[in-house]
Structure 1
């Protein structure tokens, strides 16, 4: 909507009606301001414009929360400044927040600002924790002055709000208006003047003095849609502000406050689909950051899986619970954030990992780690219930938190201050919980709790703990304990699988496991072997375990995060960080070892079968492979070593072999290994070296089941071990395959399929 003529004192007006492009027209000066956006110039995907959305009037501009901003250079503003400081300033803007900033270092996520607080100059309109908002100005005779929204007048997420801030120096007041009504005011000395922040840019969506995170990310950036931003060099009256609000409602919306459709504000994965490193058939957030997937549960014909998520950008910050749903554990759909930090005394500072189970009525419930930095310890076990069936939505998109934590760590129970990641299950006798912690001076531990009603819990003692002296890599703290039943062994004894993730000084941050016996009466665990084993030998790419017993099939299924292991700079440029690993079925083999296999449903992703061969020599197999190119493939391969001691397959290989990743087996050392010394020539990527671990084949041929998905490589060997790694070749022709051996070998079988995207 163009500027209304005759708007007295209007200095600047961004209508954001463009709907496309990389600049926004400032209506008064008729000059264009460039929109900063991470994908304006993209290294790994096609360049993309900033994201435009439906606004209140015409279009609006979507600010992604970490890279989108507009700058009006100080050189232009200073050139046009009046000699006298401003006696009045008013700002009006429509805002639809998507996420709230945490308020790190007490700073506001700026809507619009041109300020220097240290010098007490300029102005700042912005948002704080949990939707609270403020207008702040630097005055010639009063220093830095602030006015804040009162309780109950926060800016709600996923709704349009009309925000006005007014400084009136002649009357000695600064005021806030929300949706046409005054909600707050603060006195300043009568006759005050606002001191201009000369030499400072005017920024929209970014704080002039934002905090830095990981040395790369600017915090305090606006996340959501802005529309119709106007700045006046006079004080708007209460009547004018109310009339502006009513005019929009009455002329465009029949007198009703405009709504924001979910699709207008949701994170959009479309710009990232062409990223040549981003996996296409692994579960991932639409954009930005994730760490471990967790809390899998089956309900009403659908699988739900949640994940640790920062909706503000691709960096670890204030964590929410993201949410996917699937009918087959393969094709996932994005759902709205399930749990977010709120202005309460339960979890204002983060919703950390947990699990899902069923209540007494068979309805899903979520147990999570409640982050509250105002208490000690700042971690407790909390509960959220779905609003289904009352809301009629089996997608379970809305959850209500129980008002207080269920389990609060007391001194003497575990390592005080480390108490997180509840894993909860239910049987006919009640509910049981394992919580990750440690035993002071002894090592990591899973702590055991029981409940008859799901709300009142009794501590039973350590479920199982590490011998840190004997196994120092098990670390002082355990996270993400998971317990799954494996059924009976050949002797008829019931076996369980215990998974943990060690952290802390000296810890090897991998997924370790024991097979053993659950002593239900004591709620403790007795392992068959004292020393743990690894499921995956890929060195920190397979972490963050969660698991479930699938009620539909009886399978025991494990979910993990596939760490990206990239620099913060590359995660900033890419707009995403990490994804889930493929779901794994785990079972007790006849020989008593743990069997692991990718779930069979993944076969639904197979496209064209590119190759099928039997009993070929090394040279014959490689002749056939010359025609196979791809970065989204499934490969099944069996190699008989013959005289070869080391043998395997080269993946993501350039025709000249300048870049390649070698996955191989060393039969003398009984090691499954990946050599990434030639994986990439990109100077910023960290993948390199040789990683791997023990795999005892006892004379069997090597049988590899491989999944290539852009930067993801997952290898499953003989149903016993996996090796997960990441590859980021610099060359676009790094798509080839080649069988490799240090001597002669026989390729007993090889099949290759193209794989389809789930998005």
Structure 2
């Protein structure tokens, strides 16, 4: 459009036609602006510049939602007198949002802004909750004027929209246009002027006054693609805006609105594949934040697994349901977000954890915790159905929420205000649900509900609650209850497994379990032993349980989050937070104890076999181990203690032993431990100290099954306990292994394989 009437009054123009690199030119003044982006100078992955995409004309810039922005210093605006005020201002820009922000403190996620909220000067064009958007200006004299897009004119995700904001002081009007058409206007006093915010830069993609979260994250940043931003010091007419819109449609898009390929805007995991700490065969979001994976279900030849996800950045905020699909529980594909907060009365503030079950027709349904801060309590149980009956999509990409909550907590139904994480199952008699809560003054509890039609639910009372006086670490509230059938024991009694995750004051946030009996008539649980057990002794790295009975094999499979154990600063720098643990098969052993094993399908990831040995002394085995290095390995090891009181293996060792992590069994204390006192020298990482817990081997040799996956270390001991931990060595040569003992243990056997990435 250069060189014609449309450029009259053009003050600034970013065409975003660079197509590569970390800078963008403002073409009126030929100023080259740096694009701030977390991986321009990456610490843990290969440095790379911001992603560029196909735009509406030429290329466009993709903003990641938490680190990408442009700060433009408006030169020469120490103007004299008059030009500190604008009698007219127009902004035109093409945008395709990827996510919507929650809107903390009522602030906008800025598309472009240069304002001072204290002095009420300047202007701000940005987005708010659920796709709403607004243009806001500070008028001479201190009045702050806002105009909002009316309902029905929200900016859709993953689609191009052409947005215009126009202030005409002379005519006394402010207006918004969407795709070349005026959608709303408001009057301002004739002769009004915008008071320029002289003390601040112009920001694209970041709010001048963004709130801080966890000290390092700036909220209110734009997530998505932006192209062809123009700012004028005159008021564009509706006809001009319509002509600009049509010109783009006609120039390269056959007269229709530009189409956007979802693959161009989705979160991209490629920059993180070379992150030396990010696991590569554990399931993870493409980027940004996850907490627990949940709602596993098998349908039409595929496993579906969902997860708590913030697509805006690697921090906990405004939670959605991410979605993966797999044919083998090992290799997963990223799918679009399955459930997102929407402008409704059901879950506008978050889609929190839940589970999946089958409806009467055998189709998958999702049960989730609906977050609505305007309701009391702000959490209820809700339902979403797949559009599979209409579209036949085996990936189950699209889900429609049932408009009303299914179960709303009443006073006297558990601890009021804590009511979440429904676990639902179906049998020949109907549907059953456990909901995480507590009993006022008595500690955590799982509450039981039953339904004949999946929509109308009856409260049956507490399913199980523990004695908080005896077990204070079980806390005031339980989250994520899971019930799985274990079959019959050797006496012929039917057994079930109950898993919970305690939270709240005094709680030990781990996965605790009981084996016991399901009393189906009362819908209650009687544990064989009152004291709960731990699956994992790694101390807050194995949390957030979910589970399913695999229809293909009949196995009980448990999924967890593997906590990242890092500071917010490290998560900011890395661009990701947390991942899933390996799927576990859990079963009732002949001795009545719970057996746990990583699923057998993981063997498909084995690459080169690096070592195989039998009946070696410590010295002989370590000599052979000297050639084996890696941070993506599977290790099977059996050690006979001999005269050793402590024995185990060091992993992620530097050649000089400056950094190393020791997995050790203490025969005298019957404890399985990890010693991370030498794990890392990096000043920003938290991993340190010694963690572990009880493991009774009853005279057996120590049999370890270990998975190393970059920062992940998972060790399974004798099929009885796991120990999950995280390691972030500072040195890139922390790749060695060494068997260790305080005496002369015998290395009965050892096998090591390279492991392959699932992505």
Question: Do they fold alike, i.e. is TM over 0.5?
Answer: yes
1:757 paired to 2:757 = yes
What residue is the counterpart of 1:508 in the other structure? 508
Alpha-carbon distance in structure 2 between the residues aligned to 1:484 and 1:74: 63
Alpha-carbon distance in structure 2 between the residues aligned to 1:77 and 1:735: 56
Alpha-carbon distance in structure 2 between the residues aligned to 1:81 and 1:20: 39
Alpha-carbon distance in structure 2 between the residues aligned to 1:653 and 1:152: 59
What residue is the counterpart of 2:332 in the other structure? 332
The answer on whether the counterparts of 2:121 and 2:142 sit within 8 Å (CA) in structure 1 is no
Partner SS state of residue 480, structure 1: strand
Q: CA deviation at 1:84?
A: 5.1
What residue is the counterpart of 1:229 in the other structure? 229
Alpha-carbon distance in structure 2 between the residues aligned to 1:556 and 1:84: 69
Q: CA deviation at 1:80?
A: 9.3
Q: CA deviation at 1:251?
A: 2.5
Alpha-carbon distance in structure 2 between the residues aligned to 1:251 and 1:14: 18
- Equivalent residues in 2 for 1:95-134 (5 A)? 95-134=95-134
Q: Closer, same or farther in 2 for the Cα pair 1:703/1:332, shift >3 Å?
A: same
What residue is the counterpart of 1:498 in the other structure? 498
Runs of 4+ more than 6 Å apart: none
Q: Closer, same or farther in 2 for the Cα pair 1:502/1:6, shift >3 Å?
A: closer
What residue is the counterpart of 1:180 in the other structure? 180
Partner SS state of residue 390, structure 1: helix
The number of residue pairs the alignment matches comes to: 759
What residue is the counterpart of 2:742 in the other structure? 742
The answer on whether the counterparts of 1:370 and 1:380 sit within 8 Å (CA) in structure 2 is yes
What residue is the counterpart of 1:639 in the other structure? 639
Alpha-carbon distance in structure 2 between the residues aligned to 1:753 and 1:5: 68
The answer on whether the counterparts of 2:84 and 2:195 sit within 8 Å (CA) in structure 1 is no
The answer on whether the counterparts of 2:538 and 2:692 sit within 8 Å (CA) in structure 1 is yes
After superposition, give the CA deviation of every residue in 1:313-358 in whole Å (9 maximum; x if it has no partner): 0000000000000000000000000000000000000000000000
Partner SS state of residue 715, structure 2: strand
What residue is the counterpart of 2:608 in the other structure? 608
- CA RMSD of superposed structures (Å): 1.1
Alpha-carbon distance in structure 2 between the residues aligned to 1:754 and 1:201: 51
Q: Closer, same or farther in 2 for the Cα pair 1:696/1:684, shift >3 Å?
A: same
- Equivalent residues in 2 for 1:327-476 (5 A)? 327-476=327-476
| TM-score normalized with structure 2 length | 0.99
Alpha-carbon distance in structure 2 between the residues aligned to 1:263 and 1:79: 45
The answer on whether the counterparts of 1:141 and 1:192 sit within 8 Å (CA) in structure 2 is no
The answer on whether the counterparts of 2:119 and 2:142 sit within 8 Å (CA) in structure 1 is no
Alpha-carbon distance in structure 1 between the residues aligned to 2:695 and 2:560: 21
Alpha-carbon distance in structure 2 between the residues aligned to 1:490 and 1:60: 66
- Equivalent residues in 2 for 1:211-250 (5 A)? 211-250=211-250
The answer on whether the counterparts of 2:6 and 2:240 sit within 8 Å (CA) in structure 1 is no
The answer on whether the counterparts of 2:516 and 2:527 sit within 8 Å (CA) in structure 1 is yes
Unaligned 5+ residue runs, structure 1? Answer: none
Q: CA deviation at 1:389?
A: 2.7
Unaligned 5+ residue runs, structure 2? Answer: none
After superposition, give the CA deviation of every residue in 1:183-222 in whole Å (9 maximum; x if it has no partner): 1111111100110100110000000000000111000000
Partner SS state of residue 622, structure 2: helix
1:44 paired to 2:51 = no
Alpha-carbon distance in structure 2 between the residues aligned to 1:75 and 1:150: 35
Partner SS state of residue 83, structure 1: helix
Q: CA deviation at 1:100?
A: 0.3
What residue is the counterpart of 2:281 in the other structure? 281
Partner SS state of residue 241, structure 1: helix
Partner SS state of residue 673, structure 1: strand
Partner SS state of residue 450, structure 1: strand
After superposition, give the CA deviation of every residue in 1:570-596 in whole Å (9 maximum; x if it has no partner): 000000000000000000000000000
Q: Closer, same or farther in 2 for the Cα pair 1:731/1:165, shift >3 Å?
A: same
1:654 paired to 2:639 = no
What residue is the counterpart of 1:22 in the other structure? 22
Alpha-carbon distance in structure 1 between the residues aligned to 2:78 and 2:53: 32
Alpha-carbon distance in structure 1 between the residues aligned to 2:467 and 2:56: 61
Q: CA deviation at 1:250?
A: 2.1
Alpha-carbon distance in structure 1 between the residues aligned to 2:518 and 2:252: 64
The answer on whether the counterparts of 2:705 and 2:715 sit within 8 Å (CA) in structure 1 is yes
Q: Closer, same or farther in 2 for the Cα pair 1:745/1:247, shift >3 Å?
A: same
- Equivalent residues in 2 for 1:475-554 (5 A)? 475-554=475-554
1:581 paired to 2:600 = no
Alpha-carbon distance in structure 1 between the residues aligned to 2:673 and 2:755: 24
Q: CA deviation at 1:81?
A: 8.9
Q: CA deviation at 1:123?
A: 0.3
Alpha-carbon distance in structure 2 between the residues aligned to 1:281 and 1:18: 35
The answer on whether the counterparts of 1:75 and 1:199 sit within 8 Å (CA) in structure 2 is no
